[in-house]
Amino acid sequence: MADKINVAGVPVDTRHWIGGQRVASAETFIDSSPIDGQPIGEVARGGPAEAQAAVAAARDAFPSWAATPRAERARLLHAIADGVEKRIEELAIVETTDNGALLRSHRRGVMPRVAHNFRFFADWLLKLDHEDFETRGHRNHVSWDPAGPCVLITPWNAPLMLATWKVAPALAAGNTVILKPAEWSPLTASLLADIAAEAGLPAGVLNVVQGYGAEIGDALTSHPDVRRISFTGSVPTAKRIAASAAANLTPLSLELGGKSPLLVFADADLELAVDLAVEQYDNAGQVCLAGTRLLVEESVAEEFTRRFVAKAGALRQGDPRDEATDIGPNIHPRQLEKIDGFVRRAIADGARAVIGGHRRDGQFYAPTLLTDVAQDSEVVQEEVFGPVLTLQTFADEDEAVRLANDTRFGLAATLATGDPERAERVTAGLVAGTVWVNCFFVRDLQAPFGGSRLSGVGREGGTWSFDFYCDLKNTVTAPKGFKDHG
């Protein structure tokens, strides 16, 4: 295979990045674009040998990187952010080609956020501290020690942004990293390796290996030298990773998606509520935080539905490189089949498609709203991860909260109400890692992020990220006992 491919004029190396060098594999896999289904190129397909090499490189680089002063680690992370900002256009077009998300979103929001991820954790590192405290005259001092090599396994729906949400704090903490991107969208991770090397990151501190989870992922997550594993993806895969990590008691951080509710009360600003609901089609519904279960108070359900249908009907679906496009394709034919299967089974069980409910040409699925769905039905209980919403009604606040919490998940929830006291009562009763009131997708890296129930294990963001990526140490010092060195 060719070492590099041309993606819309951007050269991308398709080999692994291990120990500061490009490494080929005997096997490859085809990476295709969801825009037209055409192959982009062949990508190195790693297995146990590449996993072993990457962990060895990370292990060997760890002592020096862990000993690097905080200020120097922070400087290098800012240098990586500078490199990202210089290549925003290239990163945006490569990622749009690779995963089908909107080019305008990548340019204006996603890639700038990638740079911000590095800058935020670089700055947070420099102020990371815990005030000393006393116990019977003894001084307690809390410190965050680097843990060791970290395996970071990232998803395909926002490849580079979600990868750097993990990579940046892991590196800031003084750890070395083995990044394994999703096989459906591996290309911007390769560009990140180039950017990090150009920024001066030492060899072996960041390694990028590509391939299938069953072939390379298992070898990474079961390795005894790996000290942290962070994964974003599905519950079944997370269970396999947890089982693999159990032999070494390797700590895990798992973000596993959800089935989030969007509650609309009769006292809400209905136009705002409709806008929030239509926003759930963002990224063709491939957003883990999406409020896919619309729960609307009975007295306004008819008017809400009328306005929703009108607004959703105005969305433009098509080529994500077109500035006028609102919804692009779904990532892969297999994912499209999964989405369509959910909808077909729901309709067979009595659901009604108010809008959508069918495929379009290529890898596009029409924005869909299903009503007449039972609370225990598959489409209400399981994550579809496509442009499919359900609408149910409730009579009062208690029923709203009960329906909202009645799934196995608990990642997020969105609430539309004009009553601040109701907002406090309802949010207190919701099982969710993040709750938005009269807004959606407002995220600050200072805040804890993660899910309850099957939506995940642990929290990251701000100091919570360093708590995960470090071994916390408390040093207790007696007031006496030191020799006088004066």
Instruction: Identify the H or E element spanning 474.
Output: strand 470-477
Query: 401 and 280, same structural domain?
Result: yes
Structure tokens at 427: 């949010």
Is 479 within the bounds of a domain?
A: no
Residue 373, token pair as written in the block:
């769905």
Same domain, yes or no: 281 and 418 = yes
Q: Read off the pLDDT of each residue in 449-453 and give the average, rounded to a whole number.
A: 96
The residue whose two tokens read 């994964």 is 231
Q: Is residue 443 part of a domain?
A: no
Q: Does any domain span residue 297? A: yes
**Interval 418-426 mean pLDDT:** 98
What is the DSSP track for 222-258? T-TT--EEEEES-HHHHHHHHHHHHTTT--EEEE---
Residue 483 counted as domain residue:
no
Helix (H) or strand (E) holding 134: strand 133-135
- Indicate whether 61 belongs to any domain: yes
Reading the block at residue 28, the tokens are: 């490859």
Residue 277 predicted with pLDDT over 90: yes
CA neighbours closer than 13 Å in the CB half-sphere of residue 60: 13
Give residue 145's identity as a one-letter amino acid code: D
d(CA 74, CA 94): 27
Q: Residue 340 belongs to what H/E stretch? A: helix 333-348
Closest CA to 366 of 423, 420, 309, 323: 309
Residues 468 and 392 in one domain: no
Report how far apart, in Å, the C-alpha atoms of 328 and of each of 7, 118, 298, 317, 384 are. Answer: 18, 28, 33, 6, 17
Chain mean position to CA 129: 27
Greater pLDDT, 103 or 483? 103
Mark whether 278 and 367 lie in a shared domain: yes
Residue 485 has pLDDT above 70, yes or no: no
Which neighbouring-strand residues pair with 150? Answer: 177, 228
Between helix 70-86 and helix 88-99 the angle, nearest 10°, is 70
Place of tokens 């041309």: 6
Q: How many angstroms from the chain centroid is the CA of residue 392?
A: 28
Going through 33-99 in order, the beta strands assigned E by DSSP cover 39-44
| Mean predicted confidence (pLDDT) in 245-263 | 96
User: What whole-number distance in Å separates Cα of residue 29 and Cα of residue 40?
Assistant: 11
Q: In this structure, are 182 and 292 located in the same domain?
A: no
The residue type of 27 is E
Whichever domain contains 381, its CATH number is 3.40.309.10
pLDDT confidence bin for 486, thresholds 50/70/90: low
Question: What gap in Å lies between CA 251 and CA 468, rounded to an integer?
Answer: 8
- Percent of the chain topping pLDDT 70: 99
CA distances from 308 to 93, 268, 390 (A): 31, 14, 12
pLDDT of the residue at 484: 73
Q: 3-state DSSP helix/strand/coil percent for the chain, to nearest 5?
A: 40, 20, 35
d(CA 36, CA 361): 10
Alpha carbon distances (Å) from 79 to 5, 67, 76, 116, 178: 26, 19, 5, 12, 20
The HSE-up count of residue 134 (CA atoms within 13 Å, CB side) is 5
* Tens-place pLDDT, residues 104-126: 999 999 999 999 999 999 999 99
Alpha helices by DSSP H, listed for 152-186, are 159-172
Averaged over 278-282, what is the pLDDT? 98
Q: Does pLDDT of 75 surpass 80?
A: yes
Do residues 32 and 38 make contact, with C-beta atoms less than 8 angstroms apart?
yes
Summarize pLDDT for 299-354 with one digit per residue, the tens. Answer: 999 999 999 999 999 999 999 999 999 999 999 999 999 999 999 999 999 999 99
- Quick check: is 55 in a domain? yes
User: Do 278 and 366 lie in a common domain?
Assistant: yes
pLDDT in tens, 170-205: 999 999 999 999 999 999 999 999 999 999 999 999
How many domains does the chain fold into? 2
Of 164, 157, 221, the closest CA to residue 195 belongs to 164
Say yes or no: 220 and 300 in one domain: no
pLDDT at 227 over 80: yes
Residue 191 has which token pair?
């560009």
Alpha helices in 36-69 (DSSP H): 48-67
pLDDT at 1: 62
Is 387 inside a domain boundary?
Answer: yes
316 burial via Cβ count (<10 Å: 0-12, 13-18, 19+) = exposed
The answer to the question of residue 445 being in a domain is no
Instruction: Please state the φ and ψ torsions of residue 430, each to the nearest 5 degrees.
Output: -85, 140
Q: What are the structure tokens assigned to 224, written together? A: 């005894």
Are 343 and 200 within one domain? no
User: Are 81 and 124 in a shared domain?
Assistant: yes
Q: Are 391 and 296 in contact (CB under 8 A)?
A: yes
**Domain around 266:** 261-437
Q: What is the pLDDT of residues 32-62, one digit of tens each?
A: 999 999 999 999 999 999 999 999 999 999 9
The rounded distance, in Å, linking the Cα atoms of 367 and 292 is 12
Confidence of residue 483 (pLDDT cuts 50, 70, 90): confident
The count of other CB atoms within 10 Å of the CB of residue 197 is: 18
Provide CB contacts within 8 A for 155, sequence distance 6+: 162, 182, 232, 233, 288
- DSSP SS3 for 202: coil
List, in order, residues 6 or more apart from 11 with CB less than 8 Å away. 4, 5
Are 40 and 114 found together in one domain? yes
CATH (domain of 110): 3.40.605.10
Q: What is the mean pLDDT of the chain?
A: 97
Same domain, 265 and 245: no
Question: Over the stretch 125-148, which tens digit does the pLDDT of each residue have?
Answer: 999 999 999 999 999 999 999 999
Q: Which residues are catalytic?
A: 255, 288
* 181 and 311 together in one domain: no
| Residue 2 pLDDT level (bands cut at 50, 70, 90) | confident
**Residue 257: predicted pLDDT:** 87
